[in-house]
């Protein structure tokens, strides 16, 4: 599936507020869906790029050889899920913001994992 289709699929996840596909080397978005006045996905993409970089540096400093599958940030009213693409050498991640009252976190993670596995870059 192409990027646009993948983003549209992610927006069908219950509680989805916005989604972006981000290059964490540059912090640039390859695509965005949703968001709006209360959720600036460009700003979120740039900020979450720093989260991914910091976690990768920490794992390296600790000598942990595992790769990051996803990172979860829990807010009072939202979940923010950062899902790294598992393809060799890719430096991309999906960023998905969810309304905490409407989302099922386990199903959202499962759906994003499925989309990540099917997207073609």
Give residue for tokens 């099922």.
Answer: 104
What CATH number did the domain enclosing 23 receive?
3.30.450.30
* Chain segment 19-67, per-residue pLDDT in tens: 999 988 888 899 999 988 889 998 998 899 999 999 989 999 999 988 8
Domain range for residue 23?
A: 3-118
Give residue for tokens 């979860």.
Answer: 72
Question: Is residue 120 over pLDDT 90?
Answer: no
Q: Please give the Cα distance from 11 to 68 (Å, whole number).
A: 23
Q: Is the pTM of this model over 0.85?
A: yes
Number of independent structural domains in the chain: 1
Give residue 57's region: left, alpha or beta (phi > 0; psi -120 to 50).
alpha
């Amino acid at each position: 599936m192409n990027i646009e289709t993948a983003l549209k699929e992610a927006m069908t996840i219950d509680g989805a507020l916005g989604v972006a596909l981000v290059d964490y080397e540059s912090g640039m978005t390859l695509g965005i869906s949703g968001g709006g006045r209360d959720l600036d996905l460009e700003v979120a993409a740039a900020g979450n790029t720093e989260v991914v970089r910091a976690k990768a540096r920490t794992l390296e400093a600790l000598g942990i050889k595992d790769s990051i599958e996803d990172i979860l940030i829990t807010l009072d009213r939202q979940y923010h899920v950062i899902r790294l693409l598992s393809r060799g050498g890719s430096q991309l991640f999906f960023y998905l913001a969810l309304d905490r009252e409407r989302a099922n976190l386990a199903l959202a993670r499962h759906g994003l994992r499925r989309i990540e596995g099917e997207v073609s870059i």
